[in-house]
Amino acid sequence: MSVSLSKKRKKELRKLQGTANKVLEAQRQVAAEAADMAREAGRQLGALNHEVLQPEARKKYHDYVEPYVDKARPYVEKGYKKSNKFVAATVIPAAGGVIGRALGAYDAAAEKLGRKTVVVPPKKSTSAGAVIAAILGVAAAVGIFVVAWKTLAADDELWVADEPVAAPDA
């Protein structure tokens, strides 16, 4: 079945297609100009960040935060030493004991089942070193938490500003 259009209808469709092409071209130009404007706005924002925000943030850090960092330094060092001692004296031997017991249990179960008693780790599994490293990481995180808690609990006026902070100018 073929559809034949009258000359008048064909002329109207060509005119409509021409109008649609003009609108599409106008939209492409607007999109290109919007992209250029967004690119320039991003560049200006980066310059503003570099020229105004970063220097002000550095100044506020040095004025308000750095003194407390210096106050907390001895507590952090003490906590670091204690966590190292804890890891060396408690965590590593405990991890070795757990791993040894697990291997012994595996060997005992394998012997009862009549299988090999020698533990052969799979090629792509977690090694004992990775397990020990994970345990050490957890212990270090606990040590850092304890140090932070003791630091914050040690000085009740740690978070009180010397002068009242004014609202920033808009």
pLDDT tens for the 170 residues of the chain, in order: 567 888 998 899 999 999 999 999 999 999 999 999 999 998 999 899 899 889 998 898 888 888 888 888 888 888 888 888 888 888 888 888 888 888 778 777 777 777 765 555 556 666 677 778 788 888 888 888 877 777 666 555 555 555 555 555 54
Determine how many CB atoms are found less than 10 A away from the CB of residue 143: 20
Q: What is the rounded distance in angstroms from the CA atom of residue 144 to the CA atom of residue 76? A: 8
Residue 82: per-residue pLDDT: 87
Confirm if 131 and 95 have CB atoms less than 8 A apart: yes
- Give the pair of three-digit tokens for residue 130: 């990775």
Residue 37: per-residue pLDDT: 93
Residue 131: per-residue pLDDT: 76
Determine how many CB atoms are found less than 10 A away from the CB of residue 121: 9
Q: What is the rounded distance in angstroms from the CA atom of residue 151 to the CA atom of residue 75? A: 6
What is the domain partition of the chain in residue ranges? 8-154
Q: List all residues 6 or more positions away from 68 whose beta carbon is below 8 Å from its beta carbon.
A: 158
Confirm if 71 and 155 have CB atoms less than 8 A apart: yes
Residue 113: per-residue pLDDT: 76
- On the 0-12 / 13-18 / 19+ scale of CB atoms within 10 A, 107 is middle
* H or E element in which residue 168 lies: none
- Give the pair of three-digit tokens for residue 98: 């757990």
Residue 145: per-residue pLDDT: 80
pTM of the predicted model as reported, rounded to 2 decimal places? 0.34
Residue 26: per-residue pLDDT: 92
